[in-house]
Chain A
Amino acid sequence: MIKIAQLSCGNDYSGIQNEIEKAAETVGAKIVFPDVDIDFDEAVEEFGFNPVSPGLKLMIARAKALADKSFEADAVLIATCFRCAEGALIRNELRRYLQRHTRLPVVMYSFTENTKASVLLTRMEALVTIVKRKDLLGRERQVGITMGLDSGSATTKAVIMQDNKIVGKYWSPTTTVLESAEKVVAEALKEAKMDLKDIESVGTTGYGRYILGQHYKAKLVQEELTVNSKGAVFLADKQKGEATILDIGGMDNKAITVMDGIPDSFTMGGICAGASGRFLETTAKRLGVEIFELGEMAARGDLHKVPMNSYCTVFGIQGLVSALAEGYTKDDVAAAACRSVAEQIYQQQLQEIDVRFPVIQVGGTSLLKGLVKAVGDILKTEPLVPQNSQFIGAVGGALLCSGFI
């Protein structure tokens, strides 16, 4: 059984420990707490950051036990209370410390009393996948005829691959999981000039992965963090070395750092729609344009011209509408919307990982030129957008499931 070492403060008094353990158990893992000496001042002193809260000192001592290998674990969950400044500082420094001193995959989370197992499930599953399926994740070539299905919150995608090449693909907005999938599968098969019986292996990912996995008898049903990163490095032809994959989704965002195509750290947002593709969708509707047109407009506009007072999907967009009334052009307003999303991702999520270059921007939103420009402006780099970047999940699924043929 995979052992996930929990380094946390405030979890028991927030009443969420049960949820953490439930999530781990669901994915076949076990939460463990590294044993440490009761007098952990020495460990804290050695670490060099002396927080006032003893709970945080204990976290440091536990991290040190992992780094010293006096306690064995397969992965690490670092969690502290949402809104605790001292906790946030320690959380981040411990993540860096562990990444410097161990090869353990790490995920961080800041919780509230409302945190439920379902929220933690994808993160736990990804930790387990990284540990358990390292060999599968190391797969660099697709073989045979396989199909990848990505059932996302906003869109459903299907990709058919044959001998390491995409031969059929289709995407459609998600309405109901199964209906949307049947539609994209039929279209992708049509393009590939194949029947469903020709497919040797199916891989599913995304929110609807379990339903689709059952329906299509998938050999691989896997969370989107590891599948997407695999698809991204494959499409960007960056299977060796370091990279950061940024996937701004319709409902949540993923930022994943990889080494040789295998994720070693990731962060997954999902608290605020203002930091997701939804914000841009709503802005496009308010401007009376299609979402892709918004991307083109934003690329033409000035990212810094329109001042924004809020990142909120309601108040931020109200601000953009006011800007139009003040005489700013639609292009500049569209650019401000893209900057708003990029800034929030930078402030909320990219702080939780060490951004490594190149940055590979993927997912449907990577087709919005203005958003890619805004991300590049903030990170001072030119994000790499591979061809078919909106299909990374499906490509990752098709690539990985070929390991089961």
Chain B
Amino acid sequence: MKVFIYPPNSMILQDLVERFGHKPLALAKEIERRVNDPELDSPPMNITEIDVKVGLKYAAIEVPSGVRGRLAMFGPLIDEAEAAIIVNNFPSTFGCMACARTNEITIYLIKQKKVPTLELEYPTNDEEVEDFIARIKNFLEGLK
């Protein structure tokens, strides 16, 4: 199944989803595709003016361009999602969206999809880490 992960650039979540036989809908793949596209020339993310307008599908024109640019990347991934894992209260080393407003709308859009979703708090000690991994494992194994 296609599993959207949040934060979408978390390498740990991406790895876990792959290990349990699913396809992670993650930012790294999307960025790789853009960076390797020789037709695009807007480093570092290769977001173009047209992309930011694509973001209008998810957020109105009054919304800052940085939010719409992010949504132009995450939105189509959310559209594809068949399941999702959301981690809350994570430090920036775990994954970083940089923009709080994008965080809010992204989580809302995932929840609106009504796909099987696992919502977790970021672990802060060894015991919580074990529980964190176990819950993700159970969730992913239960997806059909």
Residues of chain A touching chain B, judged by Cβ–Cβ distance below 8 Å, are 9-18, 38-39, 51-55, 57-58, 80-84, 86-87, 111-114
Q: Do A86 and B65 have beta carbons less than 8 Å apart?
A: no
Majority secondary structure of chain A interface residues (helix, strand, loop or mixed): loop
Known: A81-B66, A84-B101. A12 touches B53 (CB 8 A): no
Given the complex of chains A and B, what is the CA–CA distance between A18 and B41 in angstroms? 8
> Does B12 sit at the interface, judged by CB under 8 A?
no
Query: Which of B44-52, B79-87, B121-129, B131-139 makes up part of the contact surface?
Result: B44-52
| Those 9 A-B pairs whose CB atoms lie nearest each other, nearest first | A10-B66, A81-B64, A55-B98, A13-B69, A52-B100, A113-B52, A14-B65, A15-B47, A84-B64
A-B residue pairs in contact (CB < 8 Å), sample of 8 = A12-B45, A39-B93, A53-B99, A54-B99, A55-B99, A83-B62, A84-B66, A111-B65
Q: Which of A53, A58, A111 contacts B100 (CB 8 A)?
A: A53
Known: A12-B45, A12-B47, A13-B69. A53 touches B98 (CB 8 A): yes
Q: Which of B48, B92, B97, B101 contacts A15 (CB 8 A)?
A: B48
CB A51 to nearest CB in B, in angstroms, measures: 7
Chain A residues with Cβ under 8 A from B45's Cβ? Answer: 12-13, 15
Q: Which of A17, A18, A51, A113 contacts B65 (CB 8 A)?
A: A113
Given the complex of chains A and B, what is the CA–CA distance between A51 and B45 in angstroms? 24
Chain B residues with Cβ under 8 A from A84's Cβ? Answer: 64, 66-67, 101
Chain A residues with Cβ under 8 A from B48's Cβ? Answer: 15
Q: Which of A10, A18, A86 contacts B69 (CB 8 A)?
A: A10
Given the complex of chains A and B, what is the CA–CA distance between A86 and B64 in angstroms? 11
Q: Do B100 and A81 have beta carbons less than 8 Å apart?
A: no
Chain A residues with Cβ under 8 A from B99's Cβ? Answer: 9-10, 13, 53-55
Chain B residues with Cβ under 8 A from A80's Cβ? Answer: 64, 66
Given the complex of chains A and B, what is the CA–CA distance between A55 and B67 in angstroms? 12
Extra pairs beyond A82-B64, A87-B64 (14, CB < 8 Å): A10-B64, A10-B98, A10-B99, A11-B66, A12-B45, A13-B99, A15-B47, A15-B52, A53-B101, A54-B92, A54-B97, A58-B98, A80-B66, A81-B65
Known: A12-B45, A13-B45. A112 touches B65 (CB 8 A): yes
Q: Do B96 and A13 have beta carbons less than 8 Å apart?
A: no
Chain B residues with Cβ under 8 A from A54's Cβ? Answer: 92, 96-100
Q: Do A17 and B42 have beta carbons less than 8 Å apart?
A: yes
> Does B28 sit at the interface, judged by CB under 8 A?
no
Chain A residues with Cβ under 8 A from B53's Cβ? Answer: 113
Given the complex of chains A and B, what is the CA–CA distance between A53 and B67 in angstroms? 11
Given the complex of chains A and B, what is the CA–CA distance between A112 and B42 in angstroms? 15
Q: Do A14 and B98 have beta carbons less than 8 Å apart?
A: no
Q: Per-position contact with A for B61-79: 1 when CB-CB < 8 Å, else 0? A: 0111111111001000000
> Does B38 sit at the interface, judged by CB under 8 A?
no
Which of chain A's residues has its CB closest to B46's CB? Answer: A15
Q: Do B64 and A114 have beta carbons less than 8 Å apart?
A: no
Chain B residues with Cβ under 8 A from A38's Cβ? Answer: 92-93
Given the complex of chains A and B, what is the CA–CA distance between A52 and B102 in angstroms? 11
Q: Which of A10, A11, A15, A55 contacts B49 (CB 8 A)?
A: A15
> Does B142 sit at the interface, judged by CB under 8 A?
no
Q: Which of A12, A58, A81 contacts B44 (CB 8 A)?
A: A12
CB A195 to nearest CB in B, in angstroms, measures: 50
Which of chain A's residues has its CB closest to B92's CB? Answer: A54
Chain B residues with Cβ under 8 A from A52's Cβ? Answer: 100
Q: Identify the interface centre among A14, A55, A87: most chain B CB within 10 Å of its CB.
A: A14
Which of chain A's residues has its CB closest to B64's CB? Answer: A81
Chain A residues with Cβ under 8 A from B92's Cβ? Answer: 38, 54, 57
CB A309 to nearest CB in B, in angstroms, measures: 20
Given the complex of chains A and B, what is the CA–CA distance between A86 and B98 in angstroms? 12
Which of chain A's residues has its CB closest to B47's CB? Answer: A15
Q: Do A113 and B98 have beta carbons less than 8 Å apart?
A: no
Which of chain A's residues has its CB closest to B91's CB? Answer: A39
Chain B residues with Cβ under 8 A from A57's Cβ? Answer: 92
Given the complex of chains A and B, what is the CA–CA distance between A12 and B98 in angstroms? 11
Chain A residues with Cβ under 8 A from B69's Cβ? Answer: 10, 12-15, 113
Q: Which of B62, B68, B73 contacts A113 (CB 8 A)?
A: B68
Chain B residues with Cβ under 8 A from A17's Cβ? Answer: 42-44
CB A39 to nearest CB in B, in angstroms, measures: 8
Given the complex of chains A and B, what is the CA–CA distance between A15 and B41 in angstroms? 10
Which of chain B's residues has its CB closest to A12's CB? Answer: B45
Given the complex of chains A and B, what is the CA–CA distance between A14 and B96 in angstroms? 17
Which of chain B's residues has its CB closest to A40's CB? Answer: B92
Which of chain A's residues has its CB closest to B52's CB? Answer: A113
Q: Identify the interface centre among A12, A15, A53, A80: most chain B CB within 10 Å of its CB.
A: A15
Given the complex of chains A and B, what is the CA–CA distance between A82 and B61 in angstroms? 11
CB A247 to nearest CB in B, in angstroms, measures: 29
Given the complex of chains A and B, what is the CA–CA distance between A318 and B47 in angstroms? 40
Q: Do A82 and B97 have beta carbons less than 8 Å apart?
A: no
Q: Per-position contact with A for B86-122: 1 when CB-CB < 8 Å, else 0? A: 0000011100111111000000000000000000000
